[in-house]
Structure formats: C-alpha cells, structure tokens
Structure 1
Amino acid sequence: MVSEKSSTSVGDGQGTHEALREPTVNVRKRWTTSVVLVNVGINAAFFGPLQVLLGQQAIHFSEPEKEGILALVTGAGAAVSLVANPLFGTFSDRSLSRFGRRVPWVFIGALLGTIGLLGLSVAPSVAAMTALWCLVQLGCNGALAAITAAVPDRVPISQRGSIGGLASMGTVVGILMGAAIAAVVSGNFAAGYLLCAVALIAGMVPYLFLSDDAVLPASARPQFAWRTFVSGFWISPVRYPDFAWAWITRFLVNVGNHLVTLYLLFFLRDAVGFANPEYGVLILTGLYAVMTLFTAVIGGKLSDKVGRRKPFVIGSSAIISLAALILAFAPTWTGALIGAAVLGIGYGAYLAVDFALITQVLPSAVSRGKDLGVINVANSLPQVIAPIIAWPLVTVMGGYVTLYVVAAVIGLLGAVFVVKIKSVD
C-alpha cells in the first residue's frame, strides 16, 4: 500500500467539512475526463506559443535578436507566473462560491489567458508581445493552480498515481496540440494564437459542469489578515522539510527540462539544419507525446500498485538527463528523434509519480490550493531562469553542446535530492 503519512490530515482542525476532508471515495471517469481536458487546453495555450509561435514572432520582429527577444518575453511571462500560481491558489482556497472553491478560478484564469492570446495575434511591438504573454501566463497559471488543487480535494491517496498519470496525459496532449497548431498555421503565428485560444476555452467548459466541487462554508474559512496572507506564501523548510525537498527536486528537473526545450526551434534550424523546423518540432513533439502518454499512465498505476514513489521519480529524472546528453552529442535529426523518445519516456513517469508524491507532503488541507501554487512555482521559476542560463550558453559559451550538458547535470541533481524526502517511500 502507498504510505499515508500525508500531512494534509494533520492539524487542520476543520477537516470535518467536506471541502477540507481527506477524500476516500474514488473519483468517476467523467470527473477525471473533465480535469484532463482542462490540462489539455491550458497546455495547448502554453506550449503552442512557447515551442513555436513566440519564436516565430521574435523572428518577425528581429532575426538577429531573436534569441534575446524570446528570452525577454518568456522570462517576463514566467516571472508573472511565479505570483499567479500561489495567488490564485490562495484565492481558490478561500472561495465561498456556490459553484465550489476551484471552478470560478478555472473560469477566470481561462478567460484572462484567452484575452492575452487574442491580443498576441495582433501585437504591434516586442513590448506589447511581452505584456500580453504575461497576461496569458497570469490567466493560465491561475487556472492551473485551481485545477491542480482539485485533485487532492477529490482523489484519495491510493488513486493519485493513476489520476496523476491521466492528468499528465492531458498535459502531453496539450503540448502536442500546441505543436500541431503551430505546424498547421505554417508560419502564420497570428492564426496560431487564435487556435490556441479556442483550445483553452474548449478544454475548460466541461469542467464547469462536471466538477462537483464541494462548497466551502463561511465558518470553515480562516480569518483574513494581510500579514498572514503574505507570510503564508513562505512554507518553512525546517517545519516541513519533505515539502521543501519536493519543491527543490521539481525545480531542478524543470530547469533541466526547460533548457532542453526552450530553443528547440532554433536548434533544429541552426544546429541540425532541418529544412522545415516548425514541422520538425511537431514530429519531435509527437514522438515525445506518445512515449510520455505511455509511461505516465503505466508509471502512475505501477507506483500505486507497488506503494512507492521515490524510485520512480529518481529513475525518470535520470532518463530525462540522458535525453539532454543525446541532444548534446548527437546534434542530428536521428539524434533529435532518439532524444525526444528518451525524454518522453522519462518525463511521462516523472509527471505522474512526482505529482502523487507532492500531494502526500502538503502541509494542510485548508491551504491545498496555495501550497500547490507554491509547488507550481517550481514549474514556473525555471521558465525565468532557463532563458537567463540558455542565452549566454548558446551565444557565447559553446552553443548547444554546452546547453544540453548543463541541462543534464541540473536534472541529475534533482534525482539525487529526492532521497531526502522521508515521509514517502
């Protein structure tokens, strides 16, 4: 059996309310499907632009300065996401809406993301492009914080590996959809942004009707104070060491992963010499997606069955690092195909099992949204740091070989630190 040393059931003092109670009943397929679709829409909105559209728009504004423009835009957007995740998570924790705690914030986040994508399609300058991408990041990360918190709200620990795998499947399908949109529009990034906006809205709608969110009674909502609100974003690593180590390992693995994917379009274009780099990104993403889907579902279920999380997280992190080394030392189309497949194998299992592990080290049921928002900073902060690291590595410090070797080393550090987590096997 999976260890149930989760701190979510300890010390809440309010766990008798349905919205805060540790779940014990397995969720239905229709609920799971609606969560998967939200993840599809959010990740199509994220990765269509990140993988191709923003790069194309950067080239449109200035071919010689494309790397710098892309680093500026993605870094600024990721900085916004650092705030959006815990902030929206906190708002959803405290929401007294009759639709439940999470639904209103999934809706508001998707709406803001859609407005930003529509604006990007007509952005007249790099400054406007940056501001609008920040709006997309604000909205999509807000929706992501709310939908992520819905999982520990509704899913029992014994089912979280499986549901984490399916949610990860939605993530990967969204990434693939984003790449497909970018390839289909064939350089017309304005049309690509419009299609990403449609995907975001379409993915969100089913959850609005199928969420079955429990309503938080006013008596169960903690009293609000600005000092408590602000200080709540700091979760003491001394008091909650397992939460801290989980954050660090996710942060490092994501830094490595973003270093691998950030300049993929430019890598195919400039290092590999692939004739149609947008189409190449689609092929690599498709291969990556197939492998990720397979290992996410299998890895999540297997970790539930075995009752252990850490060996899967360590192994998958090491495989992700291996993918980066393949790209570093085999900068060919064949090497890119092998690297994409290996990356998918590692990242699929990592997404499913690491998410299940994290839900077992949350400090409190009353603040799941905020706490997972803080965890999601470990997804967002690498988007700020990766461009800062990648730009000089590619332009003045050895190019893509250096970039991918650094990515591999950082990812391996993430695997090493998983062993520090004590309350989960």
Structure 2
Amino acid sequence: MMTDNLAGPQSGAGSRGVALSEPTVSVRKRWTTSVVLVNVGINAAFFGPIQVLLGQQAIHFSEPEKEGILALVTGAGAAVSLVANPLFGTFSDRSVSRFGRRVPWVFIGALLGTIGLLGLTVAPSVGAMMLLWCLVQLGCNGALAAITAAVPDQVPVRERGRIGGLASMGTVVGILMGAAIGAVVAGNYAFGYVLCAVALVAGMVPYLFLSNDQVLSRADRPPFSWPAFFKGFWISPRMYPDFGWAWITRFLVNVGNHLVTLYLLFFLRDAVGFDNPEFGVLVLTGIYAVLTLVTAVIGGRWTDRVGKRKPFVIGSSAIIALAALILAFAPTWPGALVGAAVLGVGYGAYLAVDFALLTQVLPSAASRGKDLGVINVANSLPQVIAPIIAWPLVTVLGGYVTLYVVAAVIGLLGAVFVVKIKGVD
C-alpha cells in the first residue's frame, strides 16, 4: 500500500541537497497516477503514428514505395530521439526552475510534440512528413527523458519494481490507445494525428499540478562548461561496467522488438492477407496490451519481493524472442493472435523489471536525467537501426520469415548479456 509523501516541493534555499538525495518515503498514489498518465500520452503520440498513421500516410504518398517511405521517416525521427533523450535529460538535471527539475521539460516536450502532430495533418510531401515526425520525436523523447528521471528522484529502491510496473501500464495503455486511434479513424490519418495530440496534452496536464517535483538549489548545480557538457554524454563502460551491460541488453531487446512491430500493418496486409489490417493491428495490440499490463504489475511486485532483477529480465527476453518465432513460422491470423499474447507476457515483465534494474546501475544521483537519457538511447537507436535491417530483409532477403527469425536471435543476445551485470542480482 502506498502512503502519502508529506514532503512537498522545497524552496530554492531549503532544498539544498534534497533534490540529489536518495528517496526513502513512499510516493503518493496521485503522483503515481500522474506519471502513468504522462506515459499514456507520450506513447499514444508515439505509437498511433508508428503502428498505423505513418504507414497510411506513406501509402497516400506512394503505394509501391510505402516500405521505403516508412523506413525513411521513422529512421529520421528515431535519429533525432537519440539526441533528444540525453539532451533534455541533461537540461532537466541542471534546471533550477521554481517548478522543479523535471516539470518544465515535460511541458516543453509535450508542446513540441503537439505542434509536430498537428503539422503532420497537413504535410504536403514526404520531406515535410519526415521533418514534422522528427519534431514529434524531439518533443516526446524530451518529455520522456524528464518523466523517466522523476522515478529515481522520488521512488525508493525497494518500490521501483512496483512503480516501474505501474509506469509500464501507462506505456502499454498508450500503445493500445494509439492502435485504437489508428483503427477508428478508418484511414483518415489527419484526424488520427489530432487525436494523438489531444491524448498527449491530456496525459501531461495532471503531472504539472501533482508532480511534487523537488527544486534544485543553485548551490547544488555544478558549474557549466561546454567541454564537460559534451563529455558527460559518454559514460565509460570501463568505469561503470554494469551500466554498459544494462545499456547493451536494453538495446538488443529493443532492436528485436522494433523488428517485430515495425511492419505489423504491412505484415497483416501482405503476408497474412487480413482484410482489415488496421483493425487487425488493434486486436493484436489489445491482446498484447492486456497481457502486458498483467505481467508488468505481477513482475514488478514479484521482483521487489524477492529482491532479484536479472532472472526476470533473462526470462522475459527469451519469451519475447519466442513471440517473434511464432510470427515467423505461423504467418496466419491465429498465429498472429498467439504471437501477440506471448509478446505481451514477455514484454510486460521486461518493462517493469528492466527499468528497476536500470535505476540501480546509474552512476550518479546528480545526473539521473542525463544518465537515463543515455539509457533511453537504447530505446531510440533501435528505431533507427530496425528500419535499416528490416527493409532489405522483407523486400530482398526472404520476407517476413527472415525478419522475425533475425528479431528473435537479436533479442536472445540481449538476454545473454544480462548475466554480465554484477552489481544487481
């Protein structure tokens, strides 16, 4: 049971050291709810376009070249996210705003994302579509970096599996909402982008008033220099090997996951032959979402109870790989249903437990936002790499069977490297 954290935001003078201390008091239920809602909004804004809307817009511009257009647009957007995550995380680490370190950047990120989504409704060309999607990625990844850092800022280590599981619920609900938007707009992708923008704004607003964000005093902010600023984005795997292995693990699992989901709309349309692929994406995402929600909550609580992270990460990564193999060798509607269910079971536990593990290998409390931003690059970089890998696999090197087998192998490598982490059980 969560109890109220009676400590509110501190003034600049009174907060000396508070923003950088390790939290010990349980967070409020309403704070947790607000974090979940931010995750819902961000992921609806991400996955509504990624799963359906960008694909529909690519078909609008050129049916024969739709795979290449989608790969170009999503790859460029993901490249922007590589910079946005650590950059916004660093800005939030150093922010001495009276509203706290994280709140201003959640707001700015959501604003940029909303502008980009609304701009996509009238994009006149593939080039404009790509630039506006890059703006969405810039804003949403910036907001994500700030809200992610808020968890180790305020949640004690003993509760991070549970809170990570609840935050993952927001991620999954956002993914499901994005798929629902893609299905209900019936090909009207412009209206879909508007709905995604509304979800992003609605998810952000409660956090602005319920954040309990600690204020960083100017005395606690380190001096700024450009060399130190750029050098800070490199976290030496020699000095922090657990951080390095955790990054590699998340990167590989996410490459495998993105290879599975990138062309899902086209997979149902071209390989499975499903009559209504947009509705099919919604059904599969719904199955995946329900099981992810269940396993995220159960896995998060279970890992907190037993005090171990690695066995859960290894097992869930293997289950995700199994889901890819099911899609590879059973490219039918029943096979897709089973694959979605297996993916949900694996990914829910992975989201909750891997996040808890990551918060325990961060190098410094003073740079949580930046360090988690670097970790989030392991979420974003696969979005760049996955289209580069997927396009030739689907169009030249064997089609969807090859694509999903490769996804499974890459995901399993992620499970293998978890054993290299020594500082967390």
After TM superposition, the score normalised by the length of structure 2 is 0.96
Q: Which residue of 1 aligns with 2:171?
A: 171
- In the TM superposition, 1:92-131 aligns within 5 A as 92-131=92-131
**CA distance in structure 2 between the partners assigned to 1:224 and 1:17 by the alignment:** 18
| CA displacement 1:54-79 (0-9 Å, x = unmatched) | 00000000000000000000000000
Q: Which residue of 2 aligns with 1:6?
A: none
- RMSD, aligned CA: 0.7
Partner AA of 2:277 in structure 1: P
- Please report how far the alpha carbon of residue 373 of structure 1 lies from its aligned counterpart in structure 2 after TM superposition: 0.1
- Please report how far the alpha carbon of residue 103 of structure 1 lies from its aligned counterpart in structure 2 after TM superposition: 0.1
**CA distance in structure 2 between the partners assigned to 1:138 and 1:156 by the alignment:** 30
Q: Which residue of 2 aligns with 1:12?
A: none
Q: Which residue of 1 aligns with 2:219?
A: 219
Instruction: Establish whether residue 257 from structure 1 lines up as the match of residue 257 from structure 2.
Output: yes
Partner AA of 1:367 in structure 2: S
**CA distance in structure 2 between the partners assigned to 1:235 and 1:226 by the alignment:** 16
- Please report how far the alpha carbon of residue 405 of structure 1 lies from its aligned counterpart in structure 2 after TM superposition: 0.0
Partner AA of 1:78 in structure 2: A
Q: Which residue of 1 aligns with 2:406?
A: 406
SS at match of 1:193: helix
SS at match of 1:70: helix
Partner AA of 1:349 in structure 2: A
Instruction: Establish whether residue 245 from structure 1 lines up as the match of residue 245 from structure 2.
Output: yes
Q: Which residue of 2 aligns with 1:189?
A: 189
Q: Which residue of 2 aligns with 1:417?
A: 417
- Give aligned-pair identity as a percent: 86
- In the TM superposition, 1:128-207 aligns within 5 A as 128-207=128-207
- In the TM superposition, 1:193-342 aligns within 5 A as 193-342=193-342
| CA displacement 1:88-147 (0-9 Å, x = unmatched) | 000000000000000000000000000000000110000000000000000000000000
| CA displacement 1:128-168 (0-9 Å, x = unmatched) | 00000000000000000000000000000000000000000
Partner AA of 1:166 in structure 2: L
Q: Which residue of 2 aligns with 1:11?
A: none
Instruction: Establish whether residue 44 from structure 1 lines up as the match of residue 44 from structure 2.
Output: yes
- In the TM superposition, 1:32-111 aligns within 5 A as 32-111=32-111
**CA distance in structure 2 between the partners assigned to 1:122 and 1:19 by the alignment:** 43
Partner AA of 1:383 in structure 2: Q
| CA displacement 1:337-373 (0-9 Å, x = unmatched) | 0000000000000000000000000000000000000
Partner AA of 2:297 in structure 1: V
- Please report how far the alpha carbon of residue 222 of structure 1 lies from its aligned counterpart in structure 2 after TM superposition: 0.5
SS at match of 1:213: coil
- Please report how far the alpha carbon of residue 411 of structure 1 lies from its aligned counterpart in structure 2 after TM superposition: 0.1
- Please report how far the alpha carbon of residue 321 of structure 1 lies from its aligned counterpart in structure 2 after TM superposition: 0.0
Unaligned residue ranges in structure 2 (runs of 5+): 1-14
**CA distance in structure 2 between the partners assigned to 1:214 and 1:142 by the alignment:** 19
SS at match of 1:74: helix
Partner AA of 2:412 in structure 1: L
Unaligned residue ranges in structure 1 (runs of 5+): 1-14
- Please report how far the alpha carbon of residue 28 of structure 1 lies from its aligned counterpart in structure 2 after TM superposition: 1.0
- Please report how far the alpha carbon of residue 44 of structure 1 lies from its aligned counterpart in structure 2 after TM superposition: 0.1
SS at match of 2:99: coil
**CA distance in structure 2 between the partners assigned to 1:232 and 1:307 by the alignment:** 31
The number of equivalent residue pairs is 411
**CA distance in structure 1 between the partners assigned to 2:143 and 2:321 by the alignment:** 30
**CA distance in structure 1 between the partners assigned to 2:19 and 2:340 by the alignment:** 41
Q: Which residue of 1 aligns with 2:11?
A: none
**CA distance in structure 1 between the partners assigned to 2:406 and 2:198 by the alignment:** 37
**CA distance in structure 1 between the partners assigned to 2:135 and 2:345 by the alignment:** 32
SS at match of 2:288: helix
Contact 2:160–2:304, Cα closer than 8 Å, also in 1: yes
Q: Which residue of 2 aligns with 1:5?
A: none
**CA distance in structure 1 between the partners assigned to 2:27 and 2:297 by the alignment:** 16
**CA distance in structure 2 between the partners assigned to 1:345 and 1:122 by the alignment:** 38
**CA distance in structure 2 between the partners assigned to 1:28 and 1:321 by the alignment:** 36
Q: Which residue of 2 aligns with 1:4?
A: none
SS at match of 1:301: helix
Contact 2:16–2:220, Cα closer than 8 Å, also in 1: no
| CA displacement 1:233-272 (0-9 Å, x = unmatched) | 0000000000000000000000000000000000000000
**CA distance in structure 2 between the partners assigned to 1:79 and 1:289 by the alignment:** 27
- Please report how far the alpha carbon of residue 178 of structure 1 lies from its aligned counterpart in structure 2 after TM superposition: 0.4
SS at match of 1:260: helix
Partner AA of 2:123 in structure 1: A
**CA distance in structure 2 between the partners assigned to 1:330 and 1:222 by the alignment:** 55
**CA distance in structure 2 between the partners assigned to 1:156 and 1:420 by the alignment:** 25
Partner AA of 2:381 in structure 1: L
Partner AA of 2:274 in structure 1: F
After TM superposition, the score normalised by the length of structure 1 is 0.96
Q: Which residue of 2 aligns with 1:391?
A: 391
**CA distance in structure 2 between the partners assigned to 1:119 and 1:371 by the alignment:** 31
**CA distance in structure 2 between the partners assigned to 1:165 and 1:193 by the alignment:** 28
- Please report how far the alpha carbon of residue 16 of structure 1 lies from its aligned counterpart in structure 2 after TM superposition: 6.5
**CA distance in structure 1 between the partners assigned to 2:344 and 2:186 by the alignment:** 25
Contact 2:314–2:415, Cα closer than 8 Å, also in 1: yes
Q: Which residue of 2 aligns with 1:20?
A: 20
